[in-house]
Structure 1
Amino acid sequence: MMTIKAGYLISYDYEFVKTSLPRIYDFVDEIYFAVDAEGKTWAGGLLDIDPQFWEWLKAFDKDQKITIYKDQFYVPGLGAMGCETRERNLLAQKMGKADWYIQIDADEYYVDFEAFVEALKAHKPVKPTSIYCSVATLFKELPEGFLLIDDSFETLCLATNHPVYDLARNNNAENEKLYWDNLLLHQSWARSADEIQQKLNNWGHKDDFNTKSFFKLWDAIDEHNYNFLRNFHPLDSEIWPKLTFFKGTIDEILNSAELKNFKTKKRPPLKQKSFFSKLWKKLKS
């Protein structure tokens, strides 16, 4: 019997788990929630989680699959990306033995997780392997829907049989990298202005680009000017070529035929490889 385990890193955007968790719950054997024991983010900021969230989680966990893992994940002087990578490795160790390990952020929503799990069960690698999949990234919420990155090169490592991470969820040294067509919807930048500021000040990439300048760009984009934006990813511009508009709520978009067909637009993530290589060399130096 193949064992598949999933792990969440719980931080300031914990409320998004209420959309993400129901889409994976029935298809994995165990789920782990990693949360800083001292209530801190990777940048050392204070993390305040409403007690009602834990009550919701307890009520939701009908099969008692979820384990809360608390540890000291903020280490002064390590840097936000260093803290993130360290936490992901500690979480993987806590998850114990499994055939496949999935690490997912609170604001990431699988479009068809059942199909992804079936593909994992059918794939039997003979070497350490990481599975990368296409990402549909939401950039901004508008009154009638969302702006979404179109024709993106962006991928994320969604599963591995060898959970040794050297840069966030990536293993750039040992694992064979496979790219699948399964699609993930990433809430990412589609938040309120205050939440965007919080993200920019606390996430793993906060020291990798001019966050104040990027916030000004994000804040200026609306339904009248988004068509003019080109090649604007803050770390490697060509990963985000342009924007498109999806009408509806998050749930409506997730269940839409338009999004399910969106993965056919994806191209091989050639730029992504060079991006991770450059960032890894920068961190090592």
Structure 2
Amino acid sequence: MFKLTSIKVGYIVSYDYEYLLTSIKQLYNYVDKIVLAIDVNRQTWSGNKFEIPQSFFDEIKAYDKKNSIEFYFEDFYVPNLTPMECETRERNLLLKRLGNSGWKLQLDVDEYIYDFKSVQQFLHRNWFFTVFPKLTPIQFRGKLVTLYKEIQDGFLYIDNKERFSFITNCEQNSTARITFGARSHYTNITVIHQSWARKEDEIQTKITNWGHRDDFDTRKYYNFWNSLSSENYKEYLDIHPMNPKLWDKLYYLESNNIDDFIHQYSELNKQQLIHINFVFLLKKIKAKIFK
């Protein structure tokens, strides 16, 4: 099939590598290139060590039947930078590795875009934004469904249209996945984020190594998270660690595992993407040229 633009995906892979294949399986057949960024010294943005077994690399290579997955090893930890600064730096290096052309998706290993065929069609339909990206810098925003905790027979999750930027035609981010000065457009693409639905030891590793490590009392918040169950989750509202109202309430969906949750949720919530008016592009080009 003739395509007017390409779709490339960049992942940051660290201590939570085991979630990656679940994410890749959602989009593998619909993208042109996937790059996996891994710290060459196996250090997090906080400088802590992690390990990735050889079996992980073997599994990825065995899955990659069309040879579209590339491993990108680099020193992503800089001691005199904060975790957030290290994150921004790594994401920018990864963007550069993806190249200047086409659409670039910036994903974490635990972010799952179900029904990706509809996303592919959306991006191909809006190919014109990638022709002269410096004239029409844009970042597409989606909706996160945050899995908060895996409990017996299912998952607790947040579903309140929390938005985040993760698709761009730009060459560089300003902070994390955001590019200041680029037009931000909400697409309604729904992304299931495994986020906090992990084992206890993984959560402790997560909150001591991620970019928001210094933004809240991680020990206190961990104890709260650990206390939640199917019996008491309805008692708590506004539970986001930095912006409480961002996660207003918890829901529960009975499911056997993450694959079952993705299937059930996708059946109940089909991807319904928002159309972009072509006139917007023409106005942006005119404003750039005749400013």
TM beyond 0.5: yes
Q: Is the 8 A contact 1:9 1:105 kept in 2?
A: yes
Measure the CA separation in 2 of the matches of 1:19 and 1:257.
15
CA RMSD of aligned residues (A): 1.5
Structure 2 equivalent of residue 189 of structure 1: 196
Structure 2 gap ranges (5+): 130-134, 273-291
Deviations 1:164-200, CA, capped at 9 Å, x for gaps = 11221111x2110011111100000000110000000
Query: Hey, what's the Cα distance between the residues in 2 that align with 1:10 and 1:117?
Result: 23
Residue correspondence of structure 1 range 226-265 to structure 2 within 5 A:
226-248=233-255, 249-256=257-264, 260-261=268-269
Query: Which residue does the alignment assign to 1:147?
Result: 156
Say whether the 8 Å CA contact 1:85–1:166 is kept in structure 2.
yes
Superposed counterparts of 1:37-52, under 5 Å = 37-52=40-55
| Residue of structure 2 aligned with 1:133, choices 131, 134, 142 | 142
**1:167 maps to 2:175:** yes
Matched, 1:215 2:242: no
Unaligned runs of 5+ in 1: 265-285
- How much has 1:54 moved relative to structure 2? 0.3
AA of the residue aligned to 1:78: L
Matches within 5 A, 1:14-33: 14-33=17-36
Aligned counterpart, 1:84: 87
CA distance in 2, matches of 1:103, 1:142: 29
**In the alignment, what sits opposite 1:157?**
165
Whether contact under 8 Å (2:112, 2:192) holds in the other structure is: yes
Instruction: Give the residue type in structure 1 aligned to 2:254.
Output: K
> Partner of 1:202: helix, strand, or coil?
coil
Q: Which has the larger radius of gyration?
A: 2
Match of 2:65 among 50, 62, 65: 62
Cα drift, residue 209 of structure 1: 1.2
Q: Per-residue CA shift, 1:90-130, capped at 9, x if unaligned?
A: 01111113211001111010122111121111123361000
User: After the TM superposition, which of the residue ranges 130-139 and 117-126 deviates more from structure 2?
Assistant: 117-126
Matched to 1:141, the amino acid is: E
The secondary structure found in structure 2 opposite 1:178 is strand
Distance 1:256 1:13 in 2: 24
| Structure 1 residues 262 and 192: alpha-carbon distance in aligned structure 2, compared to 1, 3 A threshold | farther
TM-score, normalised with respect to structure 1: 0.88
For residues 270 and 242 of structure 2, the distance between their equivalents in structure 1, rounded to whole angstroms, comes to 24
State how far apart, in whole Å, the 1-side matches of 2:37 and 2:161 are.
Answer: 29
Q: Within 1, Cα distance between the matches of 2:107 and 2:170?
A: 16
Q: Percent identity?
A: 38
Contact residue 5 and residue 101 of structure 1 kept, 8 A: yes
Counterpart residue identity of residue 129, structure 1: I
User: Do structure 1's residue 12 and structure 2's residue 50 form an aligned pair?
Assistant: no
Letter aligned with residue 167 of structure 2:
A
SS in 2 for 1:177: strand
Q: Number of residue pairs matched?
A: 262
| Distance 1:223-1:170 versus aligned 2 partners, 3 A rule | same
Contact preservation (8 Å) 2:114, 2:266 = no
Q: 1:95 to 1:50 in 2, by over 3 A?
A: same
CA distance in 2, matches of 1:39, 1:10: 10
CA gap 1:146/1:263 in 2 versus in 1, 3 angstroms: farther
Structure 1 position 156, deviation (Å): 2.0
SS at match of 1:55: helix
